[in-house]
Amino acid sequence: MKTPIVSMKNVTYEYPDKTLVLKGLTLHIDRGKKIALIGNNGAGKSTLFLLLNGILKPSSGDLFFNESKISYSRKDLKKLRQKVGIVFQQPDTQLFSSSVYEDIKFGPKNLGLTQEEIQFAVNEAIMLTETGDFKDKPPHFLSLGQKKRVAIAGIIAMNPELMVLDEPTASLDPYYAKKIMKILEDIHHENRTILLSTHNVDLAYEWADEIIILHNGAIMAQGTPVEVFQNKELLNQCHLEQPMTLEIYQQVLAKHHASIATEYPLSKKQLIEKLASLLPI
């Protein structure tokens, strides 16, 4: 059985103006998984992410990292932030150095690595995210999508155990959206957990091992993409759509009066293969 890297027990969060956002959340993020958090605007996704690395403190309830309770002492918070890296929804919140290079360097520099290790980590992150062309520019001159890629490069360079990315592909063009998802696929392994939020159900369905639905501050479902996205009633209730691959497959199977197969196609490529096998030769 997988052990959770982060857990929340009965966490409530209320902003200073009394907006109650999270309503008694109990949640386990299993080590080594790729998890997509989906939910309506204002559901509390970004707030939940800010709680995960201690930027916000629960109004009530507890946060655990590697099964030990976070005390919110300076020492605990420092440790938590080294292990949980976050990419904010708005890159401007994150980028503040005089150059892109310095910004990407900021995380690894704070981890106490050697100069050589820092340089290696930064260059690797720049190469993966293709941000080298503007590495000497001030981040505030970049386009929105470029800023987002720099913020993602920053977290890659830090190499945290848990990567939390708030809508990583939201302002990226299709080429870079695909590229970033491929990187997130490649760098994930049994000791690297990746949690992202997205409004793109197709992306979540194809990429994630696990889906969490947050709706108006409450967890409505947590399970495999096929399990969660089959529940149309729940999706309607949470203002979500079924992923296209799953919907097409289910409808074609129904038309063929075929029994629902146990193995669902997860990608467009797999769907085409499945459909081709149903066609008469």
Ligand X SMILES: Nc1ncnc2c1ncn2[C@@H]1O[C@H](COP(=O)(O)OP(=O)(O)OP(=O)(O)O)[C@@H](O)[C@H]1O
Residue ranges in contact with ligand X by CB under 6 A: 15, 17, 19, 21, 39, 41-47, 89
Nearest approach, Cβ of 21 to Mg ion (angstroms)?
11
> Which CB atom, from 45 or from 274, has the smaller least distance to ligand X?
45
> Does 94 engage in binding with Mg ion (CB under 5 A)?
no
- d(CA 266, CA 226) in angstroms, rounded, equals 8
- d(CA 178, CA 72) in angstroms, rounded, equals 37
Q: Distances in Å between the alpha carbon of 109 and those of 36, 71, 87?
A: 29, 25, 17
Name the segment binding Mg ion (CB under 5 A); options: 25-33, 88-96, 122-130, 242-250: 88-96
Three-state secondary-structure class, residue 178: helix
Binding partner selected for residue 44 from Mg ion, ligand X, none, CB under the kind-specific 5 to 8 Å limit: ligand X
> Does 169 engage in binding with Mg ion (CB under 5 A)?
no
Nearest approach, Cβ of 211 to ligand X (angstroms)?
15
Q: Could you tell me whether strands 162-166 and 193-197 are parallel, antiparallel, or unpaired per DSSP bridges?
A: parallel
- d(CA 49, CA 94) in angstroms, rounded, equals 14
Binding partner selected for residue 47 from Mg ion, ligand X, none, CB under the kind-specific 5 to 8 Å limit: ligand X
Nearest approach, Cβ of 241 to ligand X (angstroms)?
15
Supply 233's token pair: 């009633």
> Which CB atom, from 80 or from 213, has the smaller least distance to ligand X?
213
- What are the residue ranges of helices labelled H in the chain? 45-52, 74-83, 100-109, 115-129, 144-158, 174-186, 201-207, 225-230, 232-237, 244-255, 268-278
HSE-up of residue 10 (Cα within 13 Å, Cβ side): 3
Binding partner selected for residue 17 from ligand X, Mg ion, none, CB under the kind-specific 5 to 8 Å limit: ligand X
Nearest approach, Cβ of 169 to ligand X (angstroms)?
13
> Which CB atom, from 46 or from 131, has the smaller least distance to Mg ion?
46
- Residue from 7, 89, 94, 159 that binds Mg ion (CB under 5 A)? 89
Nearest approach, Cβ of 166 to ligand X (angstroms)?
7
Nearest approach, Cβ of 268 to Mg ion (angstroms)?
27
